[in-house]
């Protein structure tokens, strides 16, 4: 039984690494992709996880598969595609660690997962099923995502969603909003960023946005507030959970590490989504904030995911 299975993109983050002696920009190859980041965060915290998706049958795809295997993520559902190249994301960092993205994905292998390639056996053996929205940008991955959601719902999985909006991968904000909102009705646990509130909910106010998602059926909603922590909401109301203040080196994976920590604490609680109280959710978010505070202290998402012992030290 897997604690969490995730479906979605697995890609290379070429992260800004300064300049060469000749004055040219350098990029460092890091494994990435939001769903994969979440799983590695969970594995480092002691949870058993599986990934479903597609990479190219190329040097980068081999590297990504090896990275997940090295982090104990089950890759039985990871398909290698000889026809399409592994997606690449070039990540530029500002002085305060914030990011801008440029993607090589026309199409990338992650968009080519077909419904018949989704291993529903893995989904049926999972407590939580997690997705983002980047698998909704193109066919056939969009249909594969919908098929996986139906299988997970039928299996009684707890449903988890982090939209992870990337504007350059959508034709327009309106198209993105439509597809991103289309799967909310499946979800029990939802995390959005403060920048995604308007796209997902039609309001820039985190509290109002959380209520919109609760009204649509979600049981627990988190809105991450960058350096200020996270706003969490359940049927009992909402509250802001402050962050652990640190000097950020690279915010790549900050939200993913937070959500990995949140899901870890949720699974450990053995509570059903409908029974999560506001106090429970605040505790889950505090744990997630501790994980994120460690992740942003070094470069790259997956390489920076902390261990449970490191997180417990921060919480202690």
State the catalytic residues: 256
Instruction: Tell me the C-alpha distance between 66 and 235, whole Å.
Output: 42
C-alpha atoms less than 13 angstroms from C-alpha of 242 in its C-beta half-sphere? 4
Pairing of strands 99-104, 25-32: unpaired
Q: Is there a contact between 257 and 301 (Cβ–Cβ < 8 Å)?
A: yes
Facing residues of 126 across strands?
2
Q: Is there a contact between 316 and 268 (Cβ–Cβ < 8 Å)?
A: no
Phi first, then psi, for residue 234 (nearest 5°) are -135, -170
C-alpha atoms less than 13 angstroms from C-alpha of 188 in its C-beta half-sphere? 21
Q: Which whole-number Å values give the CA distances from 212 to 25, 38, 111, 177, 315, in the listed order?
A: 43, 25, 29, 14, 31
Q: Is residue 172 reached through a cis peptide bond, with omega within 30 degrees of 0 on the bond before it?
A: no
Q: Which whole-number Å values give the CA distances from 262 to 73, 117, 224, 236, 292, in the listed order?
A: 18, 29, 12, 18, 10
Instruction: Tell me the C-alpha distance between 185 and 10, whole Å.
Output: 25
Helix (H) or strand (E) holding 127: strand 126-131
Instruction: Tell me the C-alpha distance between 25 and 303, whole Å.
Output: 21
Burial grade of 316 (CB within 10 A; 0-12, 13-18, 19 or more): exposed
Helix (H) or strand (E) holding 76: strand 74-81
């Amino acid at each position: 039984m897997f604690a969490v299975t995730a479906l979605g993109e697995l890609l290379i983050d070429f992260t800004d690494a300064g300049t060469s002696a000749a004055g040219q920009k350098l990029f460092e190859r890091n494994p990435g992709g939001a769903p994969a980041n979440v799983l590695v965060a969970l594995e480092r915290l002691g949870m058993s996880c599986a990934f479903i998706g597609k990479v190219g049958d190329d040097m980068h795809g081999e590297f990504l598969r090896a990275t997940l295997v090295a982090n104990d993520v089950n890759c039985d559902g990871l398909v290698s595609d000889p026809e399409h190249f592994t997606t690449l994301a070039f990540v530029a960092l500002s002085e305060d660690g914030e990011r801008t993205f440029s993607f090589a994905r026309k199409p990338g292998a992650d968009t080519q997962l077909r419904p018949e390639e989704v291993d529903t056996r893995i989904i049926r053996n999972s407590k939580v099923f997690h997705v983002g929205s980047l698998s909704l940008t193109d066919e056939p991955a969009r249909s594969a995502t919908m098929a996986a959601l139906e299988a997970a719902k039928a299996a009684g999985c707890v449903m988890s969603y982090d939209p992870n909006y990337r504007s350059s991968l959508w034709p327009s904000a309106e198209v993105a909003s439509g597809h991103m909102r289309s799967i909310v009705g499946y979800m029990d646990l939802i995390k959005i960023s403060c920048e995604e509130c308007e796209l997902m909910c039609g309001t820039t106010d985190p509290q109002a946005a959380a209520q919109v998602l609760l009204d649509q059926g979600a049981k627990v909603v988190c809105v991450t507030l960058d350096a200020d922590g996270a706003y969490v909401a359940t049927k009992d109301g909402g509250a802001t959970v402050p962050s652990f203040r640190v000097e950020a080196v690279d915010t790549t994976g900050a939200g993913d590490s937070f959500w990995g920590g949140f899901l870890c604490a949720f699974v450990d609680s053995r509570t059903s989504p409908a029974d999560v109280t506001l106090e429970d959710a605040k505790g889950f978010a505090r744990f997630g904030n501790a994980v994120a505070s460690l992740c942003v202290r070094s470069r790259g998402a997956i390489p920076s995911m902390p261990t449970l012992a490191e997180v417990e030290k921060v919480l202690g």
